[in-house]
């Protein structure tokens, strides 16, 4: 199959994405508005601090937070936010991170909120302190974490409380923020994949979060290498100081005051722990354009489109011998998702064999594989066109027909 694509020129197989906004297969379909804006951004030079200041104003406007910043992903935003909570505006601590000898560096978080992404917190120098249990899985009626457990864990070494938001996972964010604030520490929220709905842009701040990280390359459909950090102006100032390329002579150091007030620093900060998380002007402008388009989008219509596509795929796959489907709504993903159960004997292949065979095709077909060892796979409508959705069904059918060996 030849499609004349840049990937073909490189000899790299393309992917039909039925797995949703997964970074490892290219994230989301970037909006045309973002691509066009990136092209225009490439035509001139601009001072990144000026651009970040403008982004801060725009992010503040749409989130209701005091300020904002564009990072190279939600994970990058978490590194920067953590660095800000640890260092504040102390240039000495900024210069020493991720070495945190002698400074409060603990991040308190519920054990059930731990994910692979908390490496981002540790990258900035934080030590994670777990609270709570996994008792909710025992069916005893006990909750995983009680507010008092946060209070108990917060002490003089605490830099922040972290909260990874999933609508099905407690405790309520507002309660967590109350406890943290009672003890004078900020709350960092990982809300990477929680857009749409648009209302979530401000919801976390309304609950009391001090910093909120969103992925720019998921529901917003901006460049893959962008993320938004929205939050308190003093923390964003620290983020800017630790992220911007600060190499400058003090006599000519003149950052935009509304982002970073040079008078509050005794001198020019050193290149910070965030400097390796660079964001280019093109990506930054692309994200802002994508954010505008995201705000203009009719999300009811988008949801209806996702639902139609999911229902159509579910109906088609239900008709395949050995497959049965249900549609899961909104808990784990912002989009309705088709959950497919594979009866291996009747289907002629296990879910794992099928998923692996699909990934080895050209183009590669990626379906959601979280439940593959339990005999299920998933189809997300988010990153498919209608034609691609039909193609996925056809390839599932073809692989099972091959396997049943007739």
Ligand X SMILES: *Cc1c(COP(=O)(O)O)cnc(C)c1O
**Interface with ligand X (CB under 6 A):** 23, 73-75, 115, 117, 164, 190, 192-193, 215, 217, 227
Residue (of 129, 92, 119, 87) closest to 104 by Cα position: 87
Where b means 16+ CB within 10 Å and e means fewer, 264-276 reads: ebeebbbebbbee
Using CA atoms, how far residue 232 sits from 121, 151, 229, 239, 287, in Å, is 18, 22, 10, 11, 21
Give DSSP secondary structure letters for 225-288.
T-EEEEE-HHHHHHHHHHHS-----GGG----TTT--GGGSSSPPPS-TTGGG---HHHHHHHH
Q: Which is nearer to ligand X, 81 or 125 (CB)?
A: 81
- At its nearest, how many Å lie between ligand X and the CB of residue 192? 3
* Shortest Cβ 347–ligand X spacing (Å): 30
Give which of 148, 97, 149, 152 is closest to 127, Cα–Cα. Answer: 97
What is the closest distance, in whole angstroms, from the C-beta atom of residue 229 to ligand X in the complex? 11
Nearer Cβ to ligand X, position 23 or 341? 23
Nearer to ligand X, 105 or 190 (CB): 190
The helix-helix angle for 281-296 and 32-41 (nearest 10°) equals: 150
Minimum CB–partner distance for residue 191 and ligand X (Å): 8
Least distance (Å) between residue 75 CB and ligand X: 3
- Write down the least CB distance from residue 333 to ligand X, Å: 10
Nearer to ligand X, 215 or 399 (CB): 215
| Nearest CB to ligand X, comparing residues 219 and 255 | 219
| Cα-Cα-Cα-Cα dihedral sign, residues 107, 108, 109, 111 | positive
Least distance (Å) from ligand X to the CB of residue 251? 37
| One-letter-per-residue 3-state SS of 112-172 | HHCCHHHHHHHHCCCEEEEECCCHHHHCCCCCCCCHHHHHHHCCCCEEEEEEECCCCCCCC
Nearer to ligand X, 77 or 396 (CB): 77
Rank residues 63 and 215 by Cβ distance to ligand X and give the closer one: 215
- Nearest residue relative to ligand X (C-beta): 73
């Amino acid at each position: 199959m030849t499609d004349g694509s840049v990937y073909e020129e490189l000899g790299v197989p393309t992917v039909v994405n039925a797995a949703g906004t997964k970074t490892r297969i290219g994230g989301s379909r970037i909006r045309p508005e973002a691509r066009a804006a990136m092209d225009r951004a490439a035509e001139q030079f601009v001072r990144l601090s000026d651009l970040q200041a403008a982004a801060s104003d725009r992010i503040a406007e749409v989130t209701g937070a005091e300020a904002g910043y564009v990072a190279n992903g939600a994970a990058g935003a978490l590194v920067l936010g953590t660095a800000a909570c640890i260092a504040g505006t102390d240039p000495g601590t900024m210069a020493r991170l991720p070495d945190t000898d002698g400074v409060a560096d603990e991040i308190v978080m519920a054990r059930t909120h731990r994910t692979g992404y908390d490496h981002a917190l540790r990258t900035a120098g934080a030590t994670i302190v777990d609270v709570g249990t996994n008792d909710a899985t025992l069916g005893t009626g006990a909750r995983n974490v009680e507010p008092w457990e946060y209070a108990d864990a917060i002490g003089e070494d605490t830099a922040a409380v972290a909260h990874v938001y999933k609508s099905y996972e407690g405790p309520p964010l507002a309660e967590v923020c109350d406890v943290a604030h009672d003890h004078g520490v900020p709350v960092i929220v990982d809300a990477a994949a929680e857009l749409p709905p648009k209302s979530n842009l401000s919801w976390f701040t309304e609950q009391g979060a001090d910093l909120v990280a969103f992925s720019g390359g998921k529901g917003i459909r901006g460049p893959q290498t962008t993320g938004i950090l929205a939050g308190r102006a003093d923390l964003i100032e620290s983020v800017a100081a630790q992220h911007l390329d600060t190499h400058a002579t003090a006599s000519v150091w003149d950052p935009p005051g509304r982002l970073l007030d040079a008078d509050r620093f005794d001198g020019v900060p050193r290149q910070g722990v965030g400097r390796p998380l660079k964001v280019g002007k093109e990506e930054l402008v692309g994200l802002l354009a994508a954010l505008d388009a995201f705000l203009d989008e009719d999300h009811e219509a988008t949801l209806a489109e996702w639902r139609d596509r999911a229902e159509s795929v579910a109906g088609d796959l239900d008709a395949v011998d050995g497959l049965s489907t249900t549609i899961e709504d909104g808990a784990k993903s912002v989009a309705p998702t088709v959950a497919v159960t594979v009866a291996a004997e009747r289907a002629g292949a296990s879910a794992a064999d099928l998923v692996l065979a699909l990934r080895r095709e050209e183009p590669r077909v990626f379906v959601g594989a979280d439940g593959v060892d339990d005999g299920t796979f998933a189809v997300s409508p988010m990153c498919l066109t209608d034609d691609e959705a039909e193609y996925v069904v056809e390839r599932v059918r073809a692989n099972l027909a091959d396997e049943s060996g007739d």
